[in-house]
A and B are shown apart, each in its own frame.
Chain A
Amino acid sequence: MSEPVACQAFRAALSAGFDGEAPGSAGAAAGHDPAHDTACAACRAFRHDLERLRRPLREARDHALPGPLRERLRQIAVAGPDRRPTTTPARTTPAREEPDGWFAALAARPLLAVGGGALLLVLLLVIPFGNGRPAQLSGLAGLQLRQAQLTNEVLTVEPGGEATLTTTGGRSLRLWGGPGRLVLTSFTDSGVDLRQDSGRLCAHWTSRPPIPFRLHAGACRVEITGTVWRLALDPTGESTLEVAEGQVALVTPSDRHVVPALRRVRFSPAGAVTASEAFNPFDDPQFNLIPDQVVVNH
């Protein structure tokens, strides 16, 4: 049903005027009759409906943000993309120069070389058996397992299970949200090196000051600068890395992607990042985070 031209012009001008705009901005309404609605009941009803539509929208627009959402947004600044780790120890000497240096020094002192070699042999034989643990786990001072087991260097966490590993320096790694399996290549206060071949695990790493922490995941590597994340690795399909607190870096064969808190990246077995999207850990029962208690700066 088409409206009379006078009604169309009036309503166009009314809508613009309702927004505080000049009726002229309503184009064809420029020549409207402002008193049209005194005689036109349909346009009076139109004006009334504009007011009815506006009220609830105007009332809603200044409602405070829900608390958890506000916290999510505020954390972006703390753990956001522009924040770079500042405490990564800087290498003072290029690694490849070291062999030349000590090899040349030993070559100049044959007796020192023989003595040093003998000492090294003794150390290699003795240290692995010194505390009953593999040499790489010599920094493991505490271990709590619930529905989880550590056999040699392989840590398995069952669904509902939990494992907490502590270094001699008091750094701790809590793992849950399985099923998942990790190979602990190294777990010391000078560095942590893990490998996840498959499965899903949530992790919480507390470390101050930070130390190098690498988690190998197929063709990729995750460098942890803190603190709560979840890796679900599918060697044949799509894997996901989700960061709840702090930030991590996903190092693929071709690139390095910083993944800040509240983001999820998906990547292929070959290490191609296929998606980067928002992640809300507050709605995720595995993280059980309470916004006001979230620690963002380990």
Chain B
Amino acid sequence: MEPSDRIEQEAQDALRHLRQGDPQGLRRLVDLLGPRLFSFLKRLLGQASDAEDALQETFATLCAKAGQQNPEVGSVTGWIYRIARTQGLQMLRHRQAEGRALAAPPPPAPPADPEQIVERHLQLEEVDRALQAVPVDLRVPFLMRECLDLPYAQIAHLTDRSVNQVASDILRARQLLREYVRS
């Protein structure tokens, strides 16, 4: 069984418990999906505190709408990822409305030598900073791939774009990130 299938099966089982009023259902979902969702939201939003609030909203929405989700119609994990994406984007909009934008990283200087192989390992903080320079439209599919480990077809479904568009957006995000971390 693929890891994603195992996660989906566990999520379905946990959601069934949650619908029956068993708090253990949510605990299992938090343990199963919480770390990756938090990683996704933290990198999408650029701030841990915003990501915590967005994740809390995600699970509160999940609890409120647990009875409406039919696992036979769509995947449970896909449904939860869609909620998280919506909450993350809402948080970004709120932040913009409040004028509370993150300081964008400085524009990248031209890479010293595009052919040079840099051996130094990148720190997570460097990647996080660079991510804030990637437009949200590109950041979302890139992070769905890297943090949630979703295949292109599922990302396409969740973000309402074609698979080719997803491939192109992820490539563009990588190119931008590369420019920032090399400069």
**Residues of chain A at the chain B interface (Cβ within 8 Å):** 11-12, 15-16, 19-21, 25-27, 41-42, 44-46, 48-50, 52-65, 69-70, 72-74, 76-78, 80-83, 260, 262-263, 277-278, 280, 283
Contact = CB atoms under 8 A, between A and B. Distances in A.
Contacts of A56: 121-124, 126-127
Interface stretch (B22-30, B71-79, B101-109): B22-30
Given A19-B152, A56-B123, A72 B26 contact: no
B155 to A, nearest CB: 10
A27 B164 contact: yes
A21 B151 contact: yes
B145 interface: yes
Contact of B60 (A16, A21, A41, A76): A76
Nearest to A47: B117
A42 B26 contact: no
29 contacts: A15-B167, A19-B170, A26-B168, A27-B164, A44-B115, A45-B118, A55-B121, A57-B124, A57-B147, A58-B146, A60-B124, A61-B36, A62-B35, A64-B35, A65-B30, A69-B38, A72-B56, A73-B34, A73-B55, A74-B27, A76-B60, A77-B63, A78-B23, A82-B64, A82-B66, A82-B67, A263-B60, A277-B53, A278-B53
Nearest to A260: B60
Given A50-B178, A61-B39, 17 more contacts: A16-B167, A25-B164, A42-B115, A52-B181, A53-B122, A55-B122, A56-B121, A56-B126, A60-B147, A61-B147, A63-B39, A65-B34, A70-B34, A73-B56, A76-B26, A76-B56, A82-B63
B167 A25 contact: yes
Given A48-B117, A55-B121, A260-B60, A77 B27 contact: yes
Contacts of B114: 42, 45
A48 B52 CA distance: 33
Given A21-B152, A74-B26, A69 B52 contact: yes
B152 A16 contact: yes
A76 B59 contact: yes
Nearest to B167: A26
Contacts of B66: 82
Interface in B43-73: 43, 49, 52-57, 59-60, 63-64, 66-67
Contact of B174 (A50, A65, A74, A78): A50
A91 B181 CA distance: 67
A74 B52 CA distance: 13
Given A65-B34, A70-B30, A25 B53 contact: no
Given A77-B25, A80-B60, A52 B35 contact: no
Interface of B: 18, 21, 23, 25-27, 30-31, 34-36, 38-40, 43, 49, 52-57, 59-60, 63-64, 66-67, 114-118, 121-124, 126-127, 145-149, 151-152, 163-164, 166-168, 170-171, 174-175, 177-178, 181-182
Contacts of A58: 146
Given A65-B35, A72-B52, A25 B115 contact: no
A259 to B, nearest CB: 11
Q: Which 8 A-B pairs have the closest CB atoms?
A: A77-B26, A77-B23, A41-B115, A56-B124, A278-B53, A27-B164, A80-B63, A61-B39
Contacts of A61: 35-36, 39-40, 146-149
A263 B39 CA distance: 22
Nearest to B163: A25
A5 to B, nearest CB: 15
Contacts of A63: 35, 39
Nearest to B116: A45
A263 to B, nearest CB: 7
